[in-house]
């Protein structure tokens, strides 16, 4: 059984930074990540993908250049989901490589699998290769979030999706209702609104907090958004 000063469960921004800071302080650190890639929701389904989609939409639709070339200018006439997904995947791959480099440079050991507690200081890591046990003086649980589920909302992955499934859409929808007010959901509204030349019609909210409707039409209600900042090396 391997022993560590700190074991972090989850490799999202919180877990990653906690692990690196502990390693810089001379501690022996391991990170457990259930996904096949590091970065958690932030890198794989949340902040980074949604910001990348936003920037891709604003670029391909010509929004950045219309003050100079005119309102009818488009870099790409019909923006498809394939165009957005291609750019998102390239950015995710780069961000994952950055995190791997940061963990390796600081001597943090990365383990893929599902972590579970055997007791207060023993953790079991299970993956396709078997089961491993770790001994930890301290443990940080940084497992992040996942979309809320409601039995009254039958998510089917096609006509009703959650925010983690936005990259699985086969095509840009003509109409969309978004429930929730998190920043990534606001960015989703922007993607569809601008890429589909839809009208942003955010009026009264329904009992589902933050519901917003988009109908096929103009492109009102759009705001210029800054690109995501570069990550400084740890």
DSSP-derived pairing of the beta strands 176-178 and 130-141: unpaired
CA angle in degrees (0–180, nearest 5) for 200-53-202: 15
> Tokens standing for 157?
């992955």
For 69, the enclosing helix (H) or strand (E) is: helix 66-69
Give the HSE-up count for residue 232: Cα atoms under 13 Å, Cβ half-sphere. Answer: 2
Q: How far apart are CA 187 and CA 20, in angstroms?
A: 30
Q: What is the pLDDT of residue 211?
A: 35
* In a domain? residue 224: no
Q: By the 8 A CB rule, do 142 and 8 touch? A: yes
Task: Indicate the number of domains in the chain.
Answer: 1
| Residues comprising the chain, all counted | 234
* In a domain? residue 37: yes
Expressed as residue numbers, the domain containing 199 is 2-216
Q: What is the pLDDT of residue 173?
A: 77
* In a domain? residue 233: no
* In a domain? residue 103: yes
> What is the layout of strands, in order, in the sheet containing 122-127?
109-112, 29-33, 2-9, 130-141, 122-127, 114-117
What phi and psi values does residue 38 have, to the nearest 5 degrees?
A: -85, 170
Give the pTM.
Answer: 0.74
Q: What is the pLDDT of residue 165?
A: 86
10 Å CB burial of residue 59 (0-12, 13-18, 19+) is middle
Q: What is the pLDDT of residues 161-195, one digit of tens each?
A: 888 888 888 887 777 777 766 655 555 555 555 55
Q: How far apart are CA 63 and CA 121, in angstroms?
A: 54
Q: What is the pLDDT of residue 73?
A: 84
* In a domain? residue 206: yes
Q: What is the pLDDT of residues 218-227, one digit of tens each?
A: 333 333 334 4
Q: What is the pLDDT of residue 118?
A: 96
Residue 37 maps to which CATH number?
A: 3.50.50.60
* In a domain? residue 222: no
DSSP state of 120: S
The tens-digit pLDDT sequence of the chain (234 residues) is 899 999 999 999 999 999 999 999 999 999 999 999 999 999 998 889 988 988 888 888 888 888 888 888 878 878 888 988 999 999 999 999 999 999 999 999 999 999 999 999 999 999 999 999 999 999 999 998 888 888 888 998 888 888 888 888 888 777 777 776 665 555 555 555 555 544 444 444 433 333 333 333 333 333 333 444 444 455
What phi and psi values does residue 179 have, to the nearest 5 degrees?
A: -105, 125
* In a domain? residue 228: no
**Rg of the chain on CA atoms, in Å:** 21
3, 10, 6: which is closest to 21 by C-alpha? Answer: 6
Q: What is the pLDDT of residue 141?
A: 97
Q: What is the pLDDT of residue 191?
A: 57
| Terminal-to-terminal C-alpha distance of the chain | 29
Q: What is the pLDDT of residue 107?
A: 97
* In a domain? residue 198: yes
């Amino acid at each position: 059984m391997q022993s560590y000063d700190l074991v972090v469960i989850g490799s999202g921004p919180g877990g990653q930074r906690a692990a690196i800071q502990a390693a810089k302080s001379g501690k022996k650190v391991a990170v457990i990540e259930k996904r096949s890639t590091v970065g958690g929701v932030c890198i794989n389904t949340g902040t980074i993908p949604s910001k990348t989609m936003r920037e891709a939409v604003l670029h391909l639709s010509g929004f950045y250049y219309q003050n100079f070339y005119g309102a009818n200018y488009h870099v790409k006439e019909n923006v498809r989901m394939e165009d957005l997904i291609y750019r998102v995947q390239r950015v995710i791959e780069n961000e994952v490589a950055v995190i791997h480099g940061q963990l390796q440079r600081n001597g943090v050991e990365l383990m893929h699998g599902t972590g579970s507690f055997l007791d207060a200081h023993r953790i079991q890591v299970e993956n396709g290769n078997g089961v491993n046990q770790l001994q930890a003086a301290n443990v940080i649980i940084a497992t992040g979030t996942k979309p809320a589920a409601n039995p009254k909302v039958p998510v089917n992955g096609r006509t009703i999706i959650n925010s983690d499934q936005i990259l699985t859409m086969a095509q840009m929808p003509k109409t969309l209702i978004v429930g929730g007010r998190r920043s990534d959901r606001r960015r989703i509204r922007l993607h569809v609104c601008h890429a589909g030349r839809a009208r942003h019609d955010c009026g009264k909210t329904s009992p589902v907090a933050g519901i917003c409707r988009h109908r096929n039409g103009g492109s009102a209600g759009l705001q210029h958004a800054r690109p995501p900042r570069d990550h400084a090396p740890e």
